[in-house]
Amino acid sequence: MDELNQTPVSPVTDSPVTAEKHTLTRRQVAVGAAWAAPVIALAVATPLAAASTGPVSEPAAAISGALNASFAGGVRTVNYSAGAVTYDPDGSGLTTGNITVALSLFGDSPNFPLTVDNASWTSLGWTRLSDRNGTARFQHAAISSGTIPTGTASWSGADSDYVSVAVNLAVAQAGIGAVGLTYTFDPDEG
């Protein structure tokens, strides 16, 4: 039996156990310490997060409202109404920065012009920005939390045409998620 490579018998299992002789160089110790330091720092920095039982959340803004379609005399009209922008800072202390709502057509639906009731927006504190490529844009001052009502708009075109409209939301503050609305009708799919 080679005494450097094996012990005669394990006292617990009575089976041979291999024990190899290892030596560590100073370089191996230094590399191991360098890799362990970030792990230790992370473990020290995260005890409160590790104790959390709920999902991780973040500040979020969303636009709500109704996108309803009606049909009359071969014309399809899509109306946006009863809308609002809601912001929840989720304890972050962040304000939204300027809020922008964009009302637009998507893709291949050029025959659905947009009609916006400007007064319904401006009476609620929104300012109309310059339009871009048929998209009407409104802006509101920053808020720290809560809900801001929005105005109304409509798109109208031939009932047989494809249409996809969107009410999109953007906030100027980085780190805040924003969600919008869409409506799509494809006559080929019924």
Confidence of residue 25 (pLDDT cuts 50, 70, 90): low
pLDDT in tens, 123-162: 999 999 988 877 899 999 999 999 999 999 999 888 777 7
Q: Is residue 46 pLDDT above 50, yes or no?
A: no
CATH number of 60-189: 2.60.40.10
CA–CA separation, 63 vs 37, rounded Å?
A: 45
Alpha-helical (H) ranges within 71-169 are 118-122
% of the chain beyond a pLDDT of 90: 36
Bridge partner list, 106: none
Instruction: State residue 133's pLDDT score.
Output: 76
pTM over 0.75? The answer is no
Alpha-helical (H) ranges within the chain are 26-45, 47-51, 118-122
Instruction: State residue 100's pLDDT score.
Output: 95
Q: Is residue 51 pLDDT above 70, yes or no?
A: no
Q: Is residue 82 pLDDT above 90, yes or no?
A: yes
Enumerate the domain spans of the chain.
6-51, 60-189
Residue type, position 157, single letter: G
